[in-house]
A = this chain, B = another copy of it.
Amino acid sequence: MSQRKVISLDDLRVACRNCSLTSLCLPMGLAPEDIERLDEIVKRNRPLHRGDFLFREGDRFRSLFVVKTGSVKTFAPSPEGGEQVLGFHLPGEVIGLDAIDKDAHACSAKVLETSAICEIPFARLEELTMSIPSLQHQMYRLLSKEIGQDTELLLLLGKKNAEERLAAFLLSLSKRLHKRGLSATDFYLSMSRHEIGNYLGLAVETVSRLFTRFQDDGLMRVDRKHIQIIDQDALEALVGGIGQHRRQQQQS
């Protein structure tokens, strides 16, 4: 991944004293005193519970949030009362980057289960990046990465069928959990089928049927929120689009 020959992500995750900072100081050669300075501006709030809001759409933007443990969903309430789930955020992931532009949150963030969340006042972080080049670069990377992830999801929604979407979703969860040292093959979903469907652009019933099918096909075991992935390769194959999708391929 990292082209510039620096410390690997995993090395640095350990080096970071506060796990909530890993996302920010991952792949850069931050001097210990710089890590110290970064560490000082981070607020460690008391644990939040299911249903608590980190922020709501329209709130003034003050801080970025980093999930330490637990999970958070971000969503855009739509005028008609519904909502569009924009993402699920697992430990180590940063929330709120989309609010910098307008200086206000464009979406809401709600805690899915009891979670520890760190808060990083953006104004102070921005000051800090002015004097620590590698931290500034890391911020650019963080923002850029978010764009790349959105792009992937975009591809998912534009081109993949229901099966491929759910498979991709599960693999994404699996990989992200694994990156944080949790099991990649045995985990609990903190979101409802409804939320999964909303996120993937599918009806609840479709999601439910697919879980059943995946289990019947021996790809995984599903017991309510408990997921055990049995055949990861088969899942990857589903996503990769081995199966014939729709058309939608052509050039200029």
Which residue numbers of A lie inside 8 Å of B, CB to CB? 1-4, 51, 60, 73, 76, 78-84, 86, 97-104, 106-107, 110, 112, 126, 129-130, 133, 136-137, 139-148, 150-151, 153-155, 157-159, 191-192, 194-195, 197-201, 203, 240-241, 246-252
Contacts and interface: CB of A to CB of B under 8 A. Distances in A.
Contacts of A251: 83
B84 A192 contact: no
Contact of A136 (B136, B144, B148): B136
A139 to B, nearest CB: 7
A106 to B, nearest CB: 6
Given A51-B252, A203-B246, A251-B83, A140 B155 contact: no
Given A83-B249, A126-B136, A154-B157, A3 B102 contact: yes
B78 A151 contact: no
A125 to B, nearest CB: 10
B201 A147 contact: no
Contacts of A102: 1, 3, 148
Nearest to A155: B84
Given A78-B241, A82-B248, 8 more contacts: A3-B103, A83-B251, A100-B144, A101-B145, A112-B252, A139-B140, A158-B200, A158-B201
Contacts of A153: 154
A101 B144 contact: yes
A136 to B, nearest CB: 7
Contact of A203 (B82, B98, B248): B248
Contacts of A136: 126, 129-130, 136
A106 B148 contact: yes
Contacts of A247: 203
A13 to B, nearest CB: 17
Contacts of A194: 250, 252
Nearest to A129: B136
Given A3-B102, A159-B84, A197-B248, A150 B143 contact: no
Contact of A101 (B78, B148, B201, B248): B148
Contacts of A81: 249
A4 B126 CA distance: 16
Contacts of A248: 82, 84, 197-198, 201, 203
Contact of A100 (B106, B140, B158, B195): B140
B201 A80 contact: no
